[in-house]
Structure 1
């Protein structure tokens, strides 16, 4: 007997959408059958009229902060909001647990975070390791063992982001000499480096110039975190990567045409470089900063301009931009509005809950993309790039039974008061063409018709190994 059957829906498999019935046993997809072709199941969910997608994989959330602090809401709030919205796997970041660089241990930091998340996350979870500031030889020596232990992705920053440093007690910027050493060891041991790429000299020069002239209002943000900065930093990082054969790179929050163009060019030159868009940045422009509540849209580096939004979607279409993240920390409105200047605005946002519905609407209704491309951008590409495929990111026999049933008969206007992740939303008033009806995690119905049915946080740690395709630059679908 099956544990669970999902019947009557259009199912998006790796081969494309089909009307199928889904049989689930022991937490995995056991059978994909023509309608009416399943054996008996302990529970059956009628998915008639719905579209069934793999549970979304968000490669960029922030329930962890530096030194063990939270950047916004707690992980149980963020991950339960994910389930409401159809996201079943998140990748967060492990930050330094000490300001004393000489004493930092990645292994100890990971053990601490794994313990904290176990029993406190509603979604399955994995971690990127954030390497900040002066990455010591001691840390570099740890990297091979960390990769072998199932944590193969390492995040770096090429800027401190704001003059005072974005994160209390932590220097962010990794200098290029250190970055070369990091590229060398990560390439040799089959890891991937993820990058927040801005040119620090340009960004800090713009801050000095604008602050000295009294132009500190939020509306100047895109003139400080510029498209030129993205161009220079992306190209510098990519040029360095060419010297380390086998290195894979992933650029968080691609915001500008200059970044998309750089990724496209260097991919053609053979660099295994992948790009991530943030939905808020891909659907808004810097004009938002002039609105009275414009800070609610802000994510670092910054919103850009209409031509940049168009370029991001061109990148999604041709495979230069592979994934959508949220940068979701899910702060309260009080936290989000603690600063309103170019040098103190809070960059985290809410948005993990409506992400899938927003992208379904934008991609199918406004960008003439299809369900297969939606799945690639919200689950399968992230799973492939970060070593989760085929366990996650696909509806296929043997994979974890993670799925979401989107109901196109349930359009809605997004209201923060109806969300489960905070008291504001950058999507307030946005109409979406569908909404999740059911979310299933490893064969368990964890959200049904707007009610969280998971009785406790049961998310599991995901240890990862990267496939050869990641280093060949072919891990994404296009």
Structure 2
């Protein structure tokens, strides 16, 4: 059935204009006025922005970590994403040393099958760059459509890979047309500082930040960039949190190197003082890299505005405070790392960024959707409103004022790190490939309706 979205303001990464949008089946078939709307369902978008669906490039659903598992699975997590205006996610598929890549991918497909309410793809973690893995990557890229590879430079003895593994992955990615991602912190230094803190009896959540200083993030970012330049490859630095890392990325991009960066709402809005909340409340804010001193926020906003950083992901990695975060009472190293962010990503960036003049409305769309689609092989199927593109469309009320709270969010977690924060901007309705997932703020989607996204090889945007 046709859908006629009328009366709204269409916003893309490039343009803002008044127009109607006609959807037929899963695609946008016309944009403008005086459209042939015969037999179409009329959807009134008066007072709303008509946005391309958000694409979250950084989620961790149903992921084991620290002896527990993230509290959102592919149903609850994608449902919450939809309520937040996100219509596609790329989740991280973890691997173990000695495990075949196809085995790991199959595990993640099972996690998502029959649950996802929006479209999804996978990034693939590379923990070991032996001959078997390097050979298997060709099929992963060509047949599985997984064209982004994640290497951890932190979490020693758990997820961390050495420089040789990173360098080999970069070389292979260059050959195959894949984008390498890094979690950039110096794992050896963090391991030393952590052991030192525990030995001195420093066990509170704030020491999670003290033992992961910004210098360690900056160093690892610079090292990863240098190896990328040496391999003549392409690199995407995830969850950039501080000025030290921004400076390295800026310098590399000034040289014309193929380097990209992502930050997250938590680093733009929260700061290190949240980790020092009393009664172990600081554990709610333990993730990696940690929250930084507040002045870094201005640097990050400027980097988004000036194109030094290209995307905003959520790094959604939720753990309940009761029974999960509490595992780290008396030892901050046992607090599961991560927070619930997926639902509030767009609203926070709009309210704190667009409304306050830190980024433009078109940059907001670019950062949350379009540039993600371009970097990760989904454009123009995803990431824009154009004839022939998927009808992933969000009706967004920019004037609505609301208060963020765990009592009203849809994430399967018992707290919200932005609890009590007043924001402007609310998602009214969401279509995924032409079908409503959220309509007039009510969930009408279906588990399993989301499709797996085979993505194209990396091309420089």
1:48 aligns with 2:43: no
In 1, are the aligned partners of 2:305 and 2:358 still within 8 Å (CA)?
no
- String of CA shifts for 1:94-136, please: whole Å, max 9, x gaps: 112xx5x33x11123213322442321011000000112x432
In 2, are the aligned partners of 1:64 and 1:93 still within 8 Å (CA)?
no
Shift in Å at residue 3 of structure 1?
A: 1.1
1:232 aligns with 2:219: yes
2:355 counterpart SS class: helix
Shift in Å at residue 209 of structure 1?
A: 2.2
1:121 counterpart SS class: coil
1:406 aligns with 2:406: no
Distance across 2 between alignment mates of 1:14 and 1:407: 18
From 321, 335, 344, give the equivalent of 2:334: 344
Q: Which moved more, 1:302-311 or 1:392-401?
A: 302-311
1:252 aligns with 2:246: no
From 300, 304, 311, give the equivalent of 1:316: 304
1:37–1:3 Cα change, 3 Å: closer
Shift in Å at residue 343 of structure 1?
A: 1.4
Task: Name the TM-score, length of structure 2 as normaliser.
Answer: 0.94
Q: Which runs of 5+ in 2 are unaligned?
A: none
Matches within 5 A, 1:69-88: 70-88=69-87
Equivalent residue number for residue 241 of structure 1: 228
Shift in Å at residue 439 of structure 1?
A: 0.5
Equivalent residue number for residue 297 of structure 1: 285
In 2, are the aligned partners of 1:64 and 1:94 still within 8 Å (CA)?
no
Task: Name the TM-score, length of structure 1 as normaliser.
Answer: 0.91
Equivalent residue number for residue 205 of structure 2: 218
Shift in Å at residue 199 of structure 1?
A: 0.9
Equivalent residue number for residue 111 of structure 1: 106
- String of CA shifts for 1:400-452, please: whole Å, max 9, x gaps: 00011111342111121111112210111111111100001000111012211
- String of CA shifts for 1:344-386, please: whole Å, max 9, x gaps: 2222211211221111101112243221011011111111111
Shift in Å at residue 14 of structure 1?
A: 4.2
Shift in Å at residue 243 of structure 1?
A: 1.2
Distance across 2 between alignment mates of 1:259 and 1:329: 22
Q: Which runs of 5+ in 1 are unaligned?
A: 166-170, 470-474
Equivalent residue number for residue 61 of structure 1: 59
Distance across 2 between alignment mates of 1:282 and 1:408: 20
In 1, are the aligned partners of 2:208 and 2:286 still within 8 Å (CA)?
no
In 2, are the aligned partners of 1:58 and 1:91 still within 8 Å (CA)?
yes
1:249–1:74 Cα change, 3 Å: same
Distance across 2 between alignment mates of 1:289 and 1:69: 21
Matches within 5 A, 1:171-190: 171-190=158-177
1:243 counterpart SS class: helix
In 1, are the aligned partners of 2:312 and 2:367 still within 8 Å (CA)?
yes
Distance across 1 between alignment mates of 2:356 and 2:135: 48
Deviating above 3 A after TM superposition, structure 1's stretches of 4 or more consecutive aligned residues are 66-70
In 2, are the aligned partners of 1:281 and 1:299 still within 8 Å (CA)?
no
1:148 aligns with 2:138: no
1:338–1:44 Cα change, 3 Å: farther
Equivalent residue number for residue 472 of structure 1: none
Equivalent residue number for residue 468 of structure 1: 459
1:337 counterpart SS class: helix
Equivalent residue number for residue 261 of structure 1: 247
In 1, are the aligned partners of 2:205 and 2:286 still within 8 Å (CA)?
no
In 1, are the aligned partners of 2:10 and 2:51 still within 8 Å (CA)?
yes
Shift in Å at residue 39 of structure 1?
A: 2.3
1:343 counterpart SS class: helix
2:450 counterpart SS class: coil
- String of CA shifts for 1:239-265, please: whole Å, max 9, x gaps: 1111112x1111111011000000010
From 173, 178, 181, give the equivalent of 1:191: 178
Equivalent residue number for residue 457 of structure 1: 448
Equivalent residue number for residue 433 of structure 1: 424
Distance across 2 between alignment mates of 1:434 and 1:137: 50
Distance across 1 between alignment mates of 2:271 and 2:409: 24
Shift in Å at residue 140 of structure 1?
A: 1.3
Shift in Å at residue 41 of structure 1?
A: 4.2
In 2, are the aligned partners of 1:73 and 1:332 still within 8 Å (CA)?
no
